Structure 1
Amino acid sequence: MNDGLRPGDPARLGGYELLGRLGEGGMGSVFLARSPQGRRVAVKVVRAELSHHDEFRGRFRSEVNRARQVPPFCTAEVLDADPDHEPPYLVVEYVDGPSLVQVVRDQGPMTTTGVHGIAVGVATALTAIHGAGVIHRDLKPANVLVAPGGIKVIDFGIARAFEATSQHTRTNQMVGTVAYMAPERFETTTGNPVGPAADIFAWGAVVAFAATGRTPFEGESATATAMRILTQPPDLTGLDGPLRALVSRALEKDPADRPTARELLDGLLTTASPSGDAGRLPNARAAVTPGAAGAATARPPADAAGDGDAPDPDPGAAERRRRRRRLVGLVAGAVVVAALVPAALFGSDLLPDGTGSEPAGVGSPAASATTAGAPTPGGSPSTSPASRTPSRSPSATADRTRAMLAGQRRLLLHVVQADRDLSLPFDGELTVGDGTGRDALFVLEPVGVDYLIKSVNPDISHRPCLGVKLDAERNASLVGTECEPTAATMFGILREGKDDKGRTSYAIVSDRYGLVQWDESRREIYVQELGDAPIDTTFSLVDRGAV
């Protein structure tokens, strides 16, 4: 709602004309504004007491840059920001639609179809947000907008800059609404960073609110609500069917027991199918054991040395994974999963810069109907975003990069910060080397919006794919493992910039386990939990010929 400007409100910020107030929040005030091009936008102005902190401005700048990496199809796109302005401000897409709070207040709890749409839309947004290395931190119904084009999640990412600074300026201040905070958010003395699992907890509380009109840990005061979150099971009365099981999993006290955003989507798409184990999700804790590459199914994973295959007590798991990939390719036109129609936009962040880097028709129904590597109705893999016909003639470099991302070329994974290349010898222990020999040759195999990273070393027959391994202290590293799409073997390839030779550089990230990083002091590759981890390590793809 536009309330007009108050006395003392600025008339302009930078090149933006302020038209009225949209609301106020913990970080500052939000204004409806007009851009120099005449577009309506939302401008968030930071509180004056925060703008005097150099720490805040630095964090604000960092978080804005990372938030720009989030695909905009189900979030309010970050358009502009000026951390050095007095006061600092952030400009995002203006979404003309009510919040989930307004919808439930005006119409009451949503129908089953409406709740499922909210669940899918917010899970899709979290998949995009987490895939860009961002954690929302303040997901709640007020930050979920029910727009004409689909569900939009707003105010993501920037909360970390505010939270880190406000802890030094206000006693016991933290970002977020208590009713949607995960238990670990209250454990401020441990020093453990808040991870993506906190957003998953908030997702469960948001979906429960949409279905019931109340929060699942509702108490008479903020303190009582916090105590219920820490000690009591959620009250999900009024939420029935397969979705209840997914929400219950998301509201587990232990972050390790919650699914990832991608796994939520898997479960939601399965519940949308008339057959299959509706609502079942793999046990997150059982998926990873010390010394094993974790799997996203309930089957105990084979150990990193590949000592045989255990029988699968859940024979439907593989079929559900296949069904999910089929559904992702067919969602254009499906009402209950309409928020996923633009899923092909994930691919736009995986393409090289420069001429011809954007696939033709991205965002259109035709382009969105088949995502990267998703099987077509006939069962054959569809063309990935990296290999679709471009709208302009690409350069030879762009052509080769597309082919590498489509799994058509062998490549070196060059660690930009170390000026070395990943190498997977026959023993399955990942090292770095000089890029010579067949140990250093890999191919990217697209599976949906993610990739398997597969060695083409013929000496490795049983463990040719890279996967995450946890040791007894739960430190994560990369090793060779079997090439089955699981939470531990699927990686996002996110464009970050250019290396010193002008090649496009990428971050490699696991949805569940975090960023692939280079430890300069120990001279080894490891995996760092997403949390507050900056992207310190990037990789460039060096073409080494056709597969």
Structure 2
Amino acid sequence: MNDGLRPGDPVRLGGYELLGRLGEGGMGSVFLARSPQGRRVAVKVVRSELAHDDEFRGRFRSEVNRARQVPPFCTAEVLDADPDHDPPYLVVEYVEGPSLVRVIREQGPMTAAGVHGIAVGVATSLTAIHGAGVIHRDLKPANVLIAPGGIKVIDFGIARAFEATSQHTRTNQMVGTVAYMAPERFDTASGRQVGPAADIFAWGAVVAFAATGRTPFEGESATATAMRILTQPPDLAGLGGPLRDLVSRALAKEPADRPTARELLDGLLTSAAPAGSTDPAGTADPGGTADPGGTVDDGSGGGGDGHSGATSTGPAGKRRRRLIGLGAAAAVVAVLVPGVLVGQQLLHDRSDASPTGAGTTGTPTTGAAATGGPASPSAATSPSGTPGASPSTAADRTRAMLAGQRRILLHVVEIDRDLSLPFDGEVKVGDGTGKDALFVLEPVGVDYMIKSLNPEIAHRPCLGVKLDAEGYAFLVGADCQPGVATVFGISREGRDDKGRTSYSVISEKYGVVQWSPSQKKIYVEHLGDAPIATTFSLVDRGAA
């Protein structure tokens, strides 16, 4: 619903004419606007107090660039953004269609066919989002739009820029909606990082809401809901059939026990869809845009969130397990009571898809390399499923390399050279023939440590970022301990001249790994909006 502009609202941002207000939330306000080409778009304007925060602007720019890599077929396409505007804003596709929360509130729980359609649509979106190296972080019914052409998941990825700037998180607030938050979102004391598995948990809660009209951990308050998420099994009464098992697995307390988005999608497509499966929306009406997001609530995602213009009324290999005890449950009470400032420092966000993208066929590697995250480093089998077998296809080799199962050369595409870590501990480039040029990727969440296999290096065998006396960042050998200086995102960029997938290597804190033609050395730098000039391909050199 277009409420018209309020006194003090801008009438124009950049080249966009603002036509009316669609909603507002913790991150800002959303407006219906007209582009210079006459297209209707949705413009999210970030809260004014963030406009002068350089850290936020940098993160906002980074997250927008990532979000642009998500295929638009099942999401609201990111069209434009200006992080340097006062205030910063983001322009996305305007989606015609109601949100899932509006449909449930107006029509009640969906039929089995409708729920299956929602489950498939959202799992497809998460497969694409994770495959582009993005984590949604605020998946909820209000961020699921039922458009005439199918399900659209909106507002993905951008929440991280807000969340990481914790000094701007207001009292009694976190980024997201409590009822759809995974247990690890509350367990801040352990330092456990939030990855794609948190979105899978939210998928389970969203599907349960579509089937039952309530959230699976519904409590009388945000604190009570959070406590149930941490300590109680989900209430899935009213949800049956094969879908119930998938939802139950998605709502596992331990992230490693949840399926990946690709595994969800495979399970949904191989199980029998309910008879008469049609458009889960029933009917579609005008509206729909990105939720400004950001505030905590304990309900099902309604209440002034700006979605669809609605005015809401009311696996193989061992995995390490860690029980979430009462300490974590007690901590969440402190997080959610008034007077406590909250905010999580998230280490990483990047991941990589297989060379053929999110829709790669074949058996997924344990840990979801096919959906944007690394496979479990403890997986003992090759992608083909045979212990010790060589990968049989390019996609298999890529998954095995990303899973840390293969020795690799890090080939610098633009100069046709390979990284090396000699005994002196300073990263160089060479012809790739020496023992100092062999590396292996060690997955850390959705990111990686890069470990040298040079037998002459007993200490500091992992690549890390070091600042020199003048503050410039470059790569050196470092201890293999996960941290901001040793964990890197690996993001697909294209192909090299031999047809191999090429990647950018990025430190979340220090920037992109680059080659300096003038200084003849590898360095690390934040590029802003400048294009990435140095990419790497992974050259298989046998089993690790």
Q: TM-score, normalised by structure 2?
A: 0.58
Contact preservation (8 Å) 2:249, 2:258: yes
Identity of counterpart residues, as a percentage?
78
Contact preservation (8 Å) 1:218, 1:225: yes
Q: How many angstroms apart in 1 are the aligned matches of 2:197 and 2:66?
A: 19
The alpha-carbon deviation at position 44 of structure 1 amounts to: 0.3
Q: How many angstroms apart in 2 are the aligned matches of 1:109 and 1:239?
A: 10
Q: How many angstroms apart in 1 are the aligned matches of 2:89 and 2:213?
A: 33
1:87-486 to 2 correspondences below 5 Å: 87-171=87-171, 173-272=173-272, 283=315, 286=318, 295=366, 302=380, 309=387, 414-415=411-412, 420-421=417-418, 434=430
Whichever residue aligns with residue 216 of structure 2, its letter is P
Q: How many angstroms apart in 1 are the aligned matches of 2:62 and 2:387?
A: 44
Distance 1:436 1:256, change over 3 A: closer
Whichever residue aligns with residue 231 of structure 2, its letter is T
Whichever residue aligns with residue 40 of structure 2, its letter is R
Contact preservation (8 Å) 2:317, 2:380: no
Q: How many angstroms apart in 2 are the aligned matches of 1:239 and 1:263?
A: 20
Whichever residue aligns with residue 155 of structure 1, its letter is D
The alpha-carbon deviation at position 420 of structure 1 amounts to: 4.0
Q: How many angstroms apart in 1 are the aligned matches of 2:89 and 2:195?
A: 26
Q: How many angstroms apart in 1 are the aligned matches of 2:194 and 2:91?
A: 26
Find the residue that maps to 1:57 and give its secondary structure: helix
Find the residue that maps to 2:103 and give its secondary structure: helix
Q: How many angstroms apart in 1 are the aligned matches of 2:260 and 2:67?
A: 19
The alpha-carbon deviation at position 224 of structure 1 amounts to: 0.5
The alpha-carbon deviation at position 171 of structure 1 amounts to: 3.5
Distance 1:35 1:308, change over 3 A: closer
Q: Which residue of 2 aligns with 1:388?
A: none
Contact preservation (8 Å) 2:256, 2:319: no
Find the residue that maps to 2:165 and give its secondary structure: helix
Contact preservation (8 Å) 1:494, 1:507: yes
- Match status 1:506 vs 2:503: yes
- Unaligned 5+ segments in structure 2 are 275-314, 322-363, 369-377, 389-393, 396-407, 421-426, 454-488, 507-511, 516-531, 540-544
Whichever residue aligns with residue 506 of structure 1, its letter is Y
Distance 1:33 1:219, change over 3 A: same
Q: How many angstroms apart in 2 are the aligned matches of 1:475 and 1:18?
A: 43
Q: How many angstroms apart in 1 are the aligned matches of 2:209 and 2:417?
A: 50
**What is the CA deviation profile of residues 28-79 of structure 1, one whole-angstrom value per residue up to 9, with x for unaligned ones?**
0000000000000000001111112111111111111111111111000000
Q: How many angstroms apart in 1 are the aligned matches of 2:124 and 2:428?
A: 35
Find the residue that maps to 1:248 and give its secondary structure: helix
Contact preservation (8 Å) 2:514, 2:533: no
- Match status 1:53 vs 2:53: yes
Find the residue that maps to 1:193 and give its secondary structure: coil
Q: How many angstroms apart in 2 are the aligned matches of 1:235 and 1:434?
A: 58
**What is the CA deviation profile of residues 238-281 of structure 1, one whole-angstrom value per residue up to 9, with x for unaligned ones?**
0000000000011001111111111111111111379xxxxxxx
Q: How many angstroms apart in 2 are the aligned matches of 1:169 and 1:135?
A: 19
RMSD across aligned C-alpha pairs, in angstroms? 4.5
The alpha-carbon deviation at position 179 of structure 1 amounts to: 0.3
**What is the CA deviation profile of residues 216-246 of structure 1, one whole-angstrom value per residue up to 9, with x for unaligned ones?**
0000111110100010000000000000000
Contact preservation (8 Å) 2:410, 2:418: yes
Find the residue that maps to 1:136 and give its secondary structure: coil
Find the residue that maps to 1:44 and give its secondary structure: strand
Distance 1:70 1:193, change over 3 A: same
Q: How many angstroms apart in 2 are the aligned matches of 1:475 and 1:437?
A: 24
**What is the CA deviation profile of residues 405-425 of structure 1, one whole-angstrom value per residue up to 9, with x for unaligned ones?**
xxxxxx9862459974489xx
Q: Which residue of 1 aligns with 2:343?
A: none
Q: How many angstroms apart in 1 are the aligned matches of 2:66 and 2:197?
A: 19
Contact preservation (8 Å) 2:212, 2:238: yes
Distance 1:68 1:519, change over 3 A: closer
Whichever residue aligns with residue 261 of structure 2, its letter is A
- Unaligned 5+ segments in structure 1 are 275-282, 311-371, 374-410, 424-430, 440-465, 481-491, 510-516, 521-534, 543-547
Question: Which structure's relative contact order is higher, taking Cα pairs within 8 Å and 6+ residues apart?
Answer: 2
Greater Cα offset, 84-93 or 411-420: 411-420
Contact preservation (8 Å) 1:124, 1:261: yes
Q: How many angstroms apart in 2 are the aligned matches of 1:71 and 1:33?
A: 23
Whichever residue aligns with residue 246 of structure 1, its letter is L
Q: How many angstroms apart in 2 are the aligned matches of 1:508 and 1:271?
A: 38
Q: Which residue of 1 aligns with 2:493?
A: 496
Distance 1:253 1:284, change over 3 A: farther
Find the residue that maps to 2:226 and give its secondary structure: helix
Whichever residue aligns with residue 252 of structure 2, its letter is E
Contact preservation (8 Å) 2:71, 2:128: yes
The alpha-carbon deviation at position 121 of structure 1 amounts to: 0.8
Q: How many angstroms apart in 2 are the aligned matches of 1:92 and 1:206?
A: 23
Q: Which residue of 2 aligns with 1:62?
A: 62
Q: Which residue of 2 aligns with 1:407?
A: none
Whichever residue aligns with residue 251 of structure 1, its letter is L
Contact preservation (8 Å) 1:256, 1:285: no
Contact preservation (8 Å) 2:179, 2:217: yes
Q: Which residue of 1 aligns with 2:24?
A: 24
Q: TM-score, normalised by structure 1?
A: 0.58
